[in-house]
Structure 1
Amino acid sequence: MATTQPTDVTATDAGLESKNGVDLSNAVVERSASALAQRRSKLPSIIQFPLVAILSFSVSSLGYSFINEFSRGELATVMRTWSTQREVGIMTAWRLIELALGWFANFDSVDLAALNLLSHGPLFYLLSAFYNIDPKIALGGLAVDVTASFVPFLLLRPLSGAHKGSSSVPNREIINDRSISILSILLASFIYAVVLVLSYNFYLRQAFVLHFEGIYTIEPAQSALVVLATLILASGIAARGFIFTPLATTGRTEQDEKVAQFDPVEAGLGETLWWNVWGYTSQTKVGIVRTLLLAIVTGVNTYLQSALTINGVEPAGAARYASAWMLAALLAGLGLGFVGEV
């Protein structure tokens, strides 16, 4: 009677390696990640996002409790307590919107951590540079916000192929090239630095005088240079991960062929309008959507955090401060999008 021989996983992988030239370690890692994703998918989809929200709020609450204890309430000296249900509702709803955008747009933990670093960083730079908050406390607060978004997504959603450097993603050699990575990070960091310096010299200084009641100084504190340098470099890294990497690893699709074959002579009015408005390649669309999302989330979060959590900040001042970071995000996205499509 014939017996079925058990499959030797190692031998199979070795055969694949010799036949296809695929590194055995990469195959094992990708298979493990796939198995982990399958285990995570056993959770009912209806409870996954609520669980993400609960985990995020829990990590944030725990982190800020530790910071307040460690700093003896230093943040409380300049940050006000929400006094009305309306303010509590606005900030809670906005945090849920941030998480929902990431979850339903199918972002992974790296995407959301990058988005949160870029959109929450302006508040903590403001506190350290102009409100005399210890830079370590400011960086700690930013770390809590980033961790509160990173951990829940890491636990409930696997990394995308682009961020894992999977062999199946297009243009893998581009995102793994060290020189391209360094240059893209430096480009985004340079754009952020230039925009912030010019914004401060042209209109932010006046905004601080007119609309930031109780501000300690309108000149950035020397101690905050560490926060600024760290934040600018981190912004470059985060912008690369959020915009450049997904854009560069987007391959051609059937829609791209339709765009390339579009004939304005034979097309109808509706088709022509669509082509003029949204007739871009899939790669370009990824860059546009992510850049606009980054700018909007950065602008709204910076405005709300400045106007509703810091004592004496008027809405007009919060809007001006948010506009500088929003412009930096837009220009950084444009720059990285241009490089990613070359």
Structure 2
Amino acid sequence: MNAAALLAGGVAAGLVAGTASCTAAQGGLLMGLAGGRHGRDPALVAWFLAGRLASHTIAGALLGLLGSAVTLPPRARAVLLVIAGATVIVFAVRLIRRGHAGCAAAPPGAPPEPPSEASPKSPFGVLSRYKAPLLGAATILVPCGVTLGVELVAVSSGSPVAGAAAMAGFVIGTAPAFALLGYVLRRVSRTRLARLTGVAAIAAGLWTAGSGVSLGGWLPAPDPAQAVTGPGGQTVTVWATRDGYRPAIVSARAGVPVEVVFKVAEHGCTDTVVIDGRDVALPATVRLPPQRPGSLRYVCGMGMYSGILTFSSPGQ
């Protein structure tokens, strides 16, 4: 694959799809940095972004070098998403507590605390400068859903240069959102607005963890009474859109092979579907062996959108 094209594609993915999900999943680490003693230093956000760019570029090169041998199965990605959501919630709770303590300590009408001025030569300044890039690099361990999708692109590229380009472009695309988040956190981390920020982060963490639960197949299937029968009962067509799969619930006969024809109406994270425990790039036709009566859930590669296949015995 062309490295320049993957770089541009990574930037586009970061700007369009990764801004919200990655700042939600990985922004907790930036919250921890901004809430520290020297969190008001704007240079720390730049160091954070530098560390993030370095770790993701290196990871992309390794993924491209190792190829499909390092592809994470859907269940492993699901666990990572749940961990990512829990991590965001932990940092959000800390931010809320810090904001509450700051409000309680300051008497009404008191001027805001002046920002700390740590000299680069002071021990605290040096430690903060090391902490910032390390936290930025650590975001590779807390992947958002879109990051996992870009990692799959890096793996499929089969080239360390192309893989690094895809991941680096993605980080560049999400950099403006992280810079804005860092600016906002420097302003609100010690005020009452920290509580609102923390609540929003908790909601984002729950969304990320919920995506992981969906991707792992740990959600119960809905009532199949709403099912729509496909033509002939053995070949069903599902359209992938930006907002999910249409129809969301389809049915077929149990006990005989079934073909599921996935077509792409609109490009988005639904371009990759996880069905029967494997990743499938769309458009594609998935052939399933005879199924027992019941339901089979499939989800997009990020665990955000799902669909249901229901199988019933003849006469039901």
TM-score category (smaller protein): under 0.3
Q: Which has the higher strand share?
A: 2
More helix by share: 1
> 1 or 2 for the larger relative contact order (CA 8 Å, sep ≥6)?
2
